[in-house]
Amino acid sequence: VRTAAKVADELSGFKDARGAAGAFAEGDVVGGATSALFALPGVGKLAKGAKAATKAAPRAGASALEDASRASFKAAEGPINISRKHLPGAGGRYNKFAEGVDADGVVREALRSPNAIFRPNPAGGYRVDTDLGRAIGQGGRTSLRSIVSPDGRVVTAFPYGPKTP
Amino acid sequence: VTETLCFRFADLHPDAPELREDLDWLLRFVARRFEIRVRDELLYEEVEFPVLELAQVLDAWMATDMAERHDLEYEVTGGENGTLLLRSTASGWLVDSAYRSPTTPVPALITDDELRHAISSFIEELHRETGRDYDLDVRALLTRVRADASS
């Protein structure tokens, strides 16, 4: 089992206060008090509003991880709106949730998980990858990828990772 | 007239209750049917395809200097790898997909001008349709995303 700490080391990245890892460019330092603040479930109540967060310049290193972690926690509290193309029985070759899986519940769980790994999404926002340790997708996929906007909304989410027997 | 390389789409529509930011448009605005053809041979087809995401990837790729332009491997968000492959060869560009049917021959190479024309036409058609039906300026969106990525 790869722990968040191991993943962070492998990625030369950082961890947030809940233990989740991130891979962002180095160049910033996180303060202990600030780090602890991001561990609180109520991160959406921080002074930095959604609009400001959307327009804020991306930050590097641990600060970027804090932003991603905060956006992720906030996204877990909002609407999920899974695309129908990722639901069982839908057409297309897209990754799909397994039959009987509570897709919205899985996304919320993944966004709050200490196993979450954060990366910048090339087209903006964050990629939050979480291995939930059980099959949640068709083909036995155990991981979920969520694309979260900088202001803390789930833009899309779907099962991810290698198929397992 | 048969286009050398053609990106075809039909029935554009939102795939989410609300498209608030550029990122929503890129990932949750889709074509009910989408296909890529090379010399009229079907290379790739998919439903509910995020056409603006592909347009953004191609736009950013074309914006790089030719000397620095690497081969492109595009993976549609939420799908498998190998949706679209653009590989440089000594004689031109190989356009391929991991989903090409075994019965479809390996596409013939195309020139840089043909590739540029196909991408420009794709973006222009998207710009026209989304402007008409959704009041969305695709060119402005792509410019913003490119600027954000380079900042």
ipTM of predicted complex: 0.91
Contact between chains at A155 and B80 (C-beta distance less than 8 A): no
Asked if B150 reaches chain A (Cβ–Cβ under 8 Å), the answer is: no
Structure tokens at A29: 């330092």
Alpha helices per DSSP H over chain A: 4-10, 32-37, 50-55, 61-77, 103-112
A13 contacts A21 by C-beta, under 8 angstroms: yes
Asked if B24 reaches chain A (Cβ–Cβ under 8 Å), the answer is: yes
Contact between chains at A153 and B47 (C-beta distance less than 8 A): no
Burial label for B18, CB within 10 Å (0-12, 13-18, 19+), is: exposed
Examine the pLDDT at A51 and tell me if it is beyond 90: no
Structure-model confidence comparison of residues B141 and A6, the more confident one: B141
Examine the pLDDT at B131 and tell me if it is beyond 60: yes
Asked if B63 reaches chain A (Cβ–Cβ under 8 Å), the answer is: no
% of chain B exceeding 70 in pLDDT: 99
Q: How confident is the model at residue A69 (pLDDT cuts 50, 70, 90)?
A: very high
Q: How confident is the model at residue B2 (pLDDT cuts 50, 70, 90)?
A: low
Write down the pLDDT at residue A162. 84
Place of tokens 């990837």: B57
**Distance of alpha carbon B91 from alpha carbon B22, whole angstroms:** 37
**Distance of alpha carbon B48 from alpha carbon B52, whole angstroms:** 12
Give which of A51, A49, A107, A53 is closest to A80, Cα–Cα: A107
Write down the pLDDT at residue A40. 30
CA distance A153 to chain B (A): 10
pLDDT digits (tens, 9 = 90+) for A126-158: 999 999 999 999 999 999 999 999 999 999 999
Residue type, A68: A
pLDDT digits (tens, 9 = 90+) for B64-104: 877 777 899 999 999 977 899 999 999 999 999 999 999 98
Going from the C-alpha of A77 to that of each of A8, A71, A80, A112, B78, the distances in angstroms are 26, 10, 9, 10, 22
Write down the pLDDT at residue A13. 59
Among A55, A82, A97, A155, pick the best mutation site for testing chain B contact (most B Cβ within 10 A).
A155
Compute the average pLDDT of residues A68-77.
Answer: 95
% of chain A exceeding 90 in pLDDT: 55
Angle of helix B112-134 relative to helix B51-63, nearest 10 degrees?
Answer: 140
Q: How confident is the model at residue A163 (pLDDT cuts 50, 70, 90)?
A: confident
Compute the average pLDDT of residues B124-150.
Answer: 95
Residues of B in contact with A86 (CB under 8 A): 78
- Chain A residues 5-24 with CB within 8 Å of chain B: none
Structure-model confidence comparison of residues B101 and A31, the more confident one: B101
Across the A:B interface, residue pairs with CB atoms under 8 Å apart total 74
pLDDT digits (tens, 9 = 90+) for B37-67: 999 899 999 999 999 999 999 999 999 877 7
Examine the pLDDT at A8 and tell me if it is beyond 60: no
Contact between chains at A91 and B48 (C-beta distance less than 8 A): yes
Examine the pLDDT at B140 and tell me if it is beyond 70: yes
**Distance of alpha carbon A126 from alpha carbon A144, whole angstroms:** 13
Q: Cβ neighbours of residue B109 under 8 Å, at least 6 residues apart?
A: B89, B91, B92, B93, B94
